[in-house]
């Protein structure tokens, strides 16, 4: 039976060896409740058969969109391999335990930055951000920096994968997996 997670595992392992920067970088597309799309680059932090996880401020633009319209599309583009993987599916928030564990693994300054950044809101001057970082640094001086209640992760639960491989003369190879009641249906697409 075809398995898109095994397909991804192989391609991702190759990307980790060949991509010069951030093989885990992916474009994450979301949309407002009325369907207005937006896309940005995020970093894949965890993945398994449950889905693909990234972390963010849940009060950011992407957080607002994912909370009001919990579906997303992801795109990995590995230029050095001439490959891309598209993933589409429903979105769910990770558990508090998962978010806490990942947050604790981050550098201290990144944890302070999560508190200091009012992500996606207007910033009058860069100095305002740096002052907020200093304020939270003083607040948590000599103590662990807890995870903010507005910061967590989202898991995209795949319903569809597309694996695209560049081929000569633009006769690319495209393989699609669509979740079915008993596993995954697979098909090829014209380039």
Catalytic residues: 170
In the structure encoding, which two tokens stand for residue 173, read together? Answer: 């190879």
**Which tokens sit at 45?**
């932090």
C-alpha pair distances (Å), 24 with each of 18, 28, 51, 61: 12, 12, 14, 21
Q: Identify the CA nearest to 134 among candidates 126, 55, 99, 121.
A: 126
d(CA 160, CA 100): 29
| Contact partners, residue 146, CB within 8 Å, separation at least 6 | none
Q: Are 38 and 61 in contact (CB under 8 A)?
A: yes
How far apart (Å, rounded) are the C-alpha atoms in residues 90 and 72? 6
Query: What is the C-alpha to C-alpha distance for residues 188 and 191, in angstroms, rounded to an integer?
Result: 9
């Amino acid at each position: 039976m075809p398995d898109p997670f095994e397909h991804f595992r192989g391609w991702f392992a190759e990307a980790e060896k060949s991509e010069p920067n951030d093989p885990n970088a992916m474009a994450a597309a979301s949309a407002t409740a009325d369907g207005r799309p937006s896309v940005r680059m995020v970093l894949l932090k965890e993945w398994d058969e449950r889905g693909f996880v990234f972390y963010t401020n849940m009060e950011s633009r992407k957080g607002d969109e994912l909370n009001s319209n919990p579906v997303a599309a992801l795109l990995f583009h590995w230029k050095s391999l001439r490959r891309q993987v598209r993933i589409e599916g429903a979105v769910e928030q990770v558990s508090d335990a998962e978010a806490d564990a990942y947050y604790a693994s981050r550098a201290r300054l990144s944890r302070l930055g999560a508190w200091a950044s009012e992500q996606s809101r207007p910033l009058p001057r860069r100095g305002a951000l740096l002052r907020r970082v200093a304020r939270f640094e003083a607040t948590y001086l000599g103590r662990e920096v807890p995870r903010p209640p507005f910061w967590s992760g989202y898991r995209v639960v795949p319903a569809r994968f597309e694996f695209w491989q560049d081929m000569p003369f633009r006769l690319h190879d495209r393989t699609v997996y669509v979740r079915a009641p008993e596993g995954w249906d697979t098909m090829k697409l014209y380039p």
